Amino acid sequence: MASSMKLAIKLFGPEARAVGRGELVVDVAALPIDCETLRRRVAEVEPKLTNLLMTARFAVNYTFVDADHMIGADDEVAIINQVCGG
Amino acid sequence: MNVEVQIVDGPVPEPRQWAVAGAGALVSFAGVVRPTEEGQAIEGLMYEAYRPMAERQIESIARMLITEHGLLAMRIAHSVGWVRVGECSFRLDVAAAHRQEAITAMGEFINRLKQDVPIWKQAR
């Protein structure tokens, strides 16, 4: 039987409002996982985020990362979109 | 390099006096909450931040600009939580030997803040 791993993702702003919470836990087939694969997995789990994910960036351990960045089990992951401070 | 970053709950308070050795220019910017947002009257803004990342990003941008423009120091304060119309939600102080690099860095910092610092606001 195939097993999966859970990955917690922090949500803020428009993403958090779209799903009504500040964290999403998704099952992934294996870790590490690259950001682009995780983006597609998040859209499967939460279709409400599909459009927002098109412009969102991933942050891993408080740093913006590229689509091919590999995320491990101990990483802190966040989806960041449309920031508007000031 | 002298960088001071503060994320504060509620409005940003009046700044304390700032003395920077060697400075010939101390340039300050205060962002206050406008009474309208997209043409609608509002009572204020609720700010949300991914706080540890916001602090790191602000410091990183400040350090980059200090190096790039040869500044002496930067001091940044930003609100989280509720800030009413007319209250200050963001303050930036830049110290430099001469005014031009301080003024230039100020504009660049604000542009980067609005692109790369994980802070969101929602009008109410």
Is 3.40.228.10 the CATH classification of the domain at A5-80? no
With b meaning 16 or more CB within 10 Å and e meaning fewer, what string describes B31-54?
A: bbbeeebeeeebebbebbbbeebb
Q: What is the ipTM of this complex?
A: 0.90
**Model's pTM, two decimal places?**
0.92
Dist CA A25 CA B25 (whole Å): 49
Give residue A1's pLDDT: 44
Interface with A, mutate which of B58, B120, B124 (most A CBs under 10 A): B120
Return the closest-CA partner of residue A85 out of A9, A13, A16.
A13
Q: Residue B71 maps to which CATH number?
A: 3.90.1170.40
Give the pLDDT band (50/70/90) at residue A68: very high
Domain extents in chain A: 5-80
Give the pLDDT band (50/70/90) at residue A85: confident
List the single residue in B with minimal CA-CA distance to A60: B53
Q: Which of helix, strand or coil describes residue B80?
A: strand
Give residue B124's pLDDT: 94
Domain with B107 in it: 2-123
Number of domains in chain B: 1
Read off the pLDDT of residues B36-94 as tens digits, 9 standing for 90 and up: 998 999 999 999 999 999 999 999 999 999 999 999 999 999 999 999 999 999 999 99
Which of B48, B53, B113 lies at the smallest CB-CB distance from A13? B48
